[in-house]
Amino acid sequence: MSFTLGANQYGKAGIRLVSVERDGDRHFVTDFTVATALAGRLDDTHYTGDNSAVLATDTQKNTVYAFAREYGVGEPEAFGLRLARHFVKTQEPIYHARIRIEQHTWERLAPHGEPAPHSFVRSGGETRRAEVIVTEEHDVSVSSGLGDLTVLNTTNSEFHGFPRDKYTTLPETRERMLATSVEAWWDHSSEDVDWGKSYADARDALVTAFASTYSLSLQQTLFSMGSHVLRKCPSVDEIRLSLPNKHHNLVDLTPFGLDNPNQVYVAPTEPYGLIQGTVHRERELPSAGPQLW
């Protein structure tokens, strides 16, 4: 009885890279966690342990640090492109390289309102993400994304008109809190993008849409958020969003002789709704970028 190797890849994950650019007294910090993943003609290492095609994951890690010095770090999409191209170009057996980067943001400290030249505080909210794939045939796919962007509307959200079967107990509501922690990936149709500006535009579109959409369902909010990003970012073809519905339930205070006019809520960790969807331009293309579900 014999079996066959299917899809596979390997690389180094959790590569922590912090780079400091020094413009005289004024410093700039870039903080990445990088993961590499290579695929190619790798049957032999699986079948017999012959590693002649296996660029060591330790070497992949070394390359990340060396490139940070040789070429600088810059935007995660551009750094990922440089790395991915290097691996497919220099390693004959490798025909597919994927680089994933998570960026941790530091803000400049400003004691007494004066921006400090070399002191920073970690802004703990969302993390920026980028994924780049380069193939042997020079096909390139670039996606950008974010995670852990947690937002809340205290009003302007309703939920009603849903079907009622024998297991339905949820009352309809014309007034509820709506909170979610945004996770999203969006795919670019080109490499010719100002990555920093594009990310800022997408992030701004997401929160603007969330704040300005009068919501009858989290799905409606999701579609609005996706549409705003496509409208604001011309290079983006498609966006995938994963939105947990972080429930805030009004507490029943009547046992204590109290009313609760939309004031006191309990926010349980689980269970939670999970709304996931895709918004794309008219032309539909298969996405090579990261899938969220």
- Quick one: tokens of 248? 């805030």
What is the pattern of x (binds a second copy, CB under 8 A) and - over residues 135-154?
-------------xxxxxxx
R_g of the chain computed on alpha carbons = 23
Part of the chain binding a second copy (CB under 8 A), chosen from 123-131, 135-143, 184-192, 193-201: 123-131
For a second copy, the binding residue among 13, 41, 190, 194 (CB under 8 A) is 13
What is the pattern of x (binds a second copy, CB under 8 A) and - over residues 226-265?
xx--xx------x-x---xx--x--x-x-xxxxxx-xxxx
What DSSP line would sit under 224-256, residue for residue?
Answer: HHHHHHHHH-TTEEEEEEEEEE---EEP--GGG
Tell me the C-alpha distance between 132 and 98, whole Å.
6
Q: Which residue has the tokens 């969302």?
A: 126
- Quick one: tokens of 64? 């990340």
Restricting to residues 29-88, which ones interact with a second copy according to CB under 8 A?
A: 29, 31, 35, 37, 42, 45-59, 61-63, 65-66, 68-70
- Comparing CB distances to a second copy, the nearer of 138 and 164 is 164
Asked if residues 213 and 223 have their Cβ atoms less than 8 Å apart, the reply is no
For a second copy, the binding residue among 89, 139, 170, 190 (CB under 8 A) is 170
Restricting to residues 191-220, which ones interact with a second copy according to CB under 8 A?
A: 204, 207-208, 210-212, 215-220
Give ∠ CA 75-115-67 in degrees, rounded to 5. 25
Longest dimension (CA), the chain: 76
For a second copy, the binding residue among 23, 24, 137, 168 (CB under 8 A) is 168
| Catalytic (active site) residue 247 | yes
What is the pattern of x (binds a second copy, CB under 8 A) and - over residues 86-115?
----xx--------------x--x-xx---
Q: In this structure, which amino acid lies at residue 165?
A: D
- 225 near a second copy, judged by CB under 8 A: no
Nearest to 274 by CA among 159, 161, 183: 183
Of residues 27, 33, 45, 57, which has the active-site annotation?
57
Grouping H, G, I as helix, E, B as strand and the rest as coil, residue 75 is: coil
- Comparing CB distances to a second copy, the nearer of 71 and 190 is 71
Among all residues, which ones are annotated catalytic? Answer: 12, 57, 247
